[in-house]
Amino acid sequence: MKLCRFNEDRLGVVVDGAIRDITDVQTEIRANARYDMKGDAVIASLPEWRSRMEEAAESAEPIDVASVDLLPPIARPCKTMAAPVNYEAHVAEMAAQPHVTGEDKGAQRPSGIQNQGIFLKANSAVVGPSEGVAIRFPDRRNDHEVEFVIIVGKEGSRIKRENAMDYVAGYTLGLDMTVRGIEDRSFRKSCDGYAPVGPWMVTADEIPDPGNVPFTVHLNGNLQQDAHTKDLIFDVPRLIEFASEFYTIYPGDYLFTGSPPGVSEVHPGDVMRCNCELIGEMEVVVREAE
Ligand code: MN
Find the mean pLDDT for residues 117-129: 98
Ligand 1: centre distance to CA 290 (Å): 25
Ligand 1: centre distance to CA 131 (Å): 20
Beta-bridge mates of residue 285:
271
Ligand 1: centre distance to CA 260 (Å): 8
Ligand 1: centre distance to CA 51 (Å): 35
Ligand 1: centre distance to CA 34 (Å): 33
Q: How far is CA 230 from CA 184, 256, 286, in A?
A: 29, 15, 29
Ligand 1: centre distance to CA 256 (Å): 7
AA identity, residue 140: R
Whether this prediction's pTM lies above 0.95 is answered by yes
Neighbours of 290 (CB within 10 A): 4
Q: What angle separates helix 41-58 from helix 23-31, to the nearest 10 degrees?
A: 140
Ligand 1: centre distance to CA 185 (Å): 10
Residues in CB range of 35: below 8 A, 6 or more apart: none
Q: What are phi and psi of 8, to 5 degrees?
A: -90, 80
Ligand 1: centre distance to CA 39 (Å): 22
Per-residue pLDDT tens digits for 37-59: 999 999 999 999 999 999 999 99
Beta strands in 122-270 (DSSP E): 126-127, 133-135, 142-144, 146-152, 168-175, 178-179, 195-203, 214-219, 222-228, 254-256, 264-265
CA-to-CA distance for 33 and 48, rounded, in angstroms?
A: 13
Per-residue pLDDT tens digits for 199-215: 999 999 999 999 999 99
**Dihedral angle sign, alpha carbons of residues 241, 245, 247, 250:** positive
CA-to-CA distance for 159 and 104, rounded, in angstroms?
A: 38
Tell whether the model's pLDDT for residue 109 goes beyond 90.
Answer: no
Q: Which of 92-96, 191-195, 264-268 has the lowest mean pLDDT?
A: 92-96
CA-to-CA distance for 190 and 179, rounded, in angstroms?
A: 9
Ligand 1: centre distance to CA 103 (Å): 17
Q: What is the pLDDT confidence band of residue 9, given thresholds at 50, 70 and 90?
A: very high
Find the mean pLDDT for residues 236-258: 98
Cβ(126)–Cβ(80) below 8 Å? yes
pLDDT at 46: 98
Percentage of residues in the chain with pLDDT exceeding 70?
A: 100
Residue 156 gets which letter from DSSP? B
Ligand 1: centre distance to CA 149 (Å): 10
